[in-house]
Amino acid sequence: MASRGGHVTGTDGNDFEFRQQVAAPHQVSLLNKSRLKYCIFFHALLFFVMLAKLTSDILDRLDIFVLEIEELEVPTPLWWEYIWLASLLTSFLGLSAARGNKIRDMQKYMIAIGLFSVLPLFYCFIYYFGDVWEYLTMDKDADLDETDIFIWRGMPYGLLWYAFCFVGFQVHGFTLYFSYNLVKAWKARTAARKYQ
């Protein structure tokens, strides 16, 4: 019970060193869970960017005509774009694993992120490399219309995808890093319990 002086009766207040502290694996787990949630949030934001890009194709497949969207002349999507779009579903696995401290589910989440998020971005990076390299190495006075570079709305299309990949690689890289830290912390806590 606290006294008027602000510390427990019978002590002078210098006994703080002996009070309970949160164990290091729990601190690591809490910190990385929070950071993982931010990564999943940014993954969701990228999902909406990709969904906006694919809206034209989705509406075409559903036989819905919207003049404003058709006037944008959005290029036909490649298969990797739909695979990456579906990768947001893996977030539910990651959130569930984080909530229940499930090592196996978090490992499955890491594999799913690698397959459905990182690999499609690598494909995109390789697919548009030629256009981006040509754009970066061309003369300053050269006209973009005279090159083989695919242009959309006055910008090299591959360069726009490289910007998306740059952000995507960061988000997924941090997601994998924080997930790995969670698995490591949970394994350390499990090992400590076995030895007690």
- Check whether 1 has a pLDDT greater than 60: no
The answer to whether position 8 is within a domain reads no
CB count, 10 Å around CB of 135? 20
The answer to whether position 11 is within a domain reads no
As a whole number, mean pLDDT of residues 126-148 equals 81
- Tokens encoding 158: 């591959």
Considering only 6-10, 19-23, 134-138, which range has the smallest mean pLDDT?
19-23
Q: Would you say how long the chain is, in residues?
A: 196
Most confident of 25-39, 96-110, 145-159: 96-110
Total domains in the fold of the chain: 1
Q: Which residue has the higher pLDDT, 155 or 85?
A: 85
Look at residue 74 in the predicted model and tell me its pLDDT: 82
The answer to whether position 12 is within a domain reads no
Residue range(s) defining the domain that contains residue 165: 24-195
Closest CA to 169 of 132, 126, 125: 125
- Contact 47/85 with Cβ under 8 angstroms? yes
Look at residue 88 in the predicted model and tell me its pLDDT: 94
The answer to whether position 4 is within a domain reads no
Residue 34 CA to residue 18 CA, distance in Å, equals: 28
Label each residue of the chain as H, E or C.
CECCCCCECCCCCCCHHHCCCCCHHHHHHHHHHHHHHHHHHHHHHHHHHHHHHHHHHHHHHCCCCCHHHHCCCCCCCCHHHHHHHHHHHHHHHHHHHHHHCCHHHHHHHHHHHHHHHHHHHHHHHHHCHHHHHHHHHCCCCCCHHHCCCCEECCEEHHHHHHHHHHHHHHHHHHHHHHHHHHHHHHHHHHHHHHHC
Look at residue 183 in the predicted model and tell me its pLDDT: 94
pLDDT tier for residue 19 given thresholds of 50, 70 and 90? low
The answer to whether position 138 is within a domain reads yes
The answer to whether position 3 is within a domain reads no
- Check whether 161 has a pLDDT greater than 70: yes
pLDDT tier for residue 63 given thresholds of 50, 70 and 90? confident
The answer to whether position 88 is within a domain reads yes
